[in-house]
Amino acid sequence: MNTPLQLLDGFQARFGTAASVYRAPGRVNLIGEHTDYNDGFVLPAAIEFYCWAAVAPRRDGKLVIHSENFNETVEASLDSLTPLGKKHWANYPLGVAWALRQAGKALRGANIYITGEVPLGAGLSSSAAVEVAVAFALLSESDAAIDRAELAKLCQKAENEFVGARVGIMDQFVSCFGRASHALLLDCRSLKYEFVKLPEDLQLVICNTMVRHELASGEYNARRAECEEGVRILRIVYPEIRALRDVMLSQLEDHRSHLTPQVFARCRHVITENARVKSAVEAFHRGDTKTLGQLLHESHRSLRDDYEVSCRELDLMVEIAMAQPGLIGARMTGGGFGGCTINLVKSAAVSDFRRSVAAAYSSKTGLTPEIYLSPASEGAQQMALEENKPAK
């Protein structure tokens, strides 16, 4: 794990000046998958894996951005921001600057030094962490007021329009608003949110399958299109519907014959998943871990069978977890096609859980999984440099 002081050394070595330091977390989603872009409900938590950004102003209207992870520096003029090649890491920070300017924010040029701890491509939102950390850094240096909800939306816009991934608002929002020891229930239509306290005797255990299937991003956009297709057809009968969030399961079932089996299944996932988020929040409030476990399991099944975004390795990781003592519930988390599972595990059982899951997964796949423990963490913040603590 980095400290602001280590980051400042890196900044000083490259740019030769002092800097301010910001960090923004990745996230794990407890339940509510592929619901955010359907105006639905999600229940993510920010995790203690951060993207860090050190920043200092420049006078020439340029952004000079160095990534420690990629060991590369890019330079761009604020007046002519355009995406670099497809999948280039710098499109995230450049896209954020572009979106902030589109929104009329007066940005100054800046030197930025970025380092990320969120595992890349693991479905833990390393991209949202970069976007939010850089947005905070750029805005703070420009003395512009920060409205976190607006900032989350601008980071999403950067990813949608500059990077070209049609993601929803969940990741950027929780990276801005996360709270220690809590999950965040977000209504992705109104952006109203509330915190849900996580039980003290449970831990969030994140199991990385170490695979990322290539089709991930294309299939993500394809799922969105199928949801939109479902809405388009259902609106013929129910004109008041704006998104799948407005559709009841009985309405979908009554009009099954108008939809292809695939579009029907996609819609059924979203509608039932929204209901599961609400039930999960109630189960958290009641301390009903049995129901919680069932809901996580049903979510995984629905993502596997109806939404078809799981894969062999994720299914196996969940299956292995379910056979372990102390497991409350397990499911894939994030966009899918590889990446991680989220496991709610009784604290006393965590060390054995880790060991047994890693051994069983390795023996069945030949892959060595990474298993992370993380408490729910705080959202983006500026760091006080002397003490390695959030600045007040």
CB of 10 to ligand GLA, least distance (A): 28
Applying the rule CB under 6 A, the residues between 135 and 194 that interact with ligand GLA are: 167-168, 170-171
Applying the rule CB under 6 A, the residues between 336 and 375 that interact with ligand GLA are: none
Q: Pick from 8, 26, 36, 43 the residue near ligand GLA by CB under 6 A.
A: 36
226 scored as a contact of ligand GLA (CB under 6 A) = no
Q: How far apart are CA 380 and CA 26, in angstroms?
A: 10
* 9 given a catalytic annotation: no
Options 171, 254, 288, 352, the catalytic residue: 171
Query: 189 with 39: CB under 8 angstroms?
Result: yes
Q: What are the tokens at 197?
A: 């306290």
Beta partners for 114? 53, 67
Applying the rule CB under 6 A, the residues between 311 and 340 that interact with ligand GLA are: 334-335
Q: Pick from 11, 15, 22, 37 the residue near ligand GLA by CB under 6 A.
A: 37
CB of 118 to ligand GLA, least distance (A): 12
Give the interface segment with ligand GLA, choosing from 28-36, 55-63, 132-140, 190-198 (CB under 6 A).
Answer: 28-36
Beta partners for 45? 28
Concatenating the DSSP letter of every residue in 161-203 gives III-----SHHHHHHHH--TTEEEEEETTT--EEEEEPPTTEE
Closer residue to ligand GLA, CB minimum distance, 8 or 24:
24
Q: Is 286 exposed, middle or buried (0-12, 13-18, 19+ CB in 10 A)?
A: exposed
Q: How far apart are CA 307 and CA 302, in angstroms?
A: 6
CB of 254 to ligand GLA, least distance (A): 27
Closer residue to ligand GLA, CB minimum distance, 109 or 116:
116
What DSSP element (H or E) covers 224?
helix 216-237
Q: How far apart are CA 136 and CA 158, in angstroms?
A: 14
Catalytic residues: 171
Residues forming contacts to ligand GLA in the complex (CB under 6 A) are: 33-34, 36-37, 125, 167-168, 170-171, 334-335
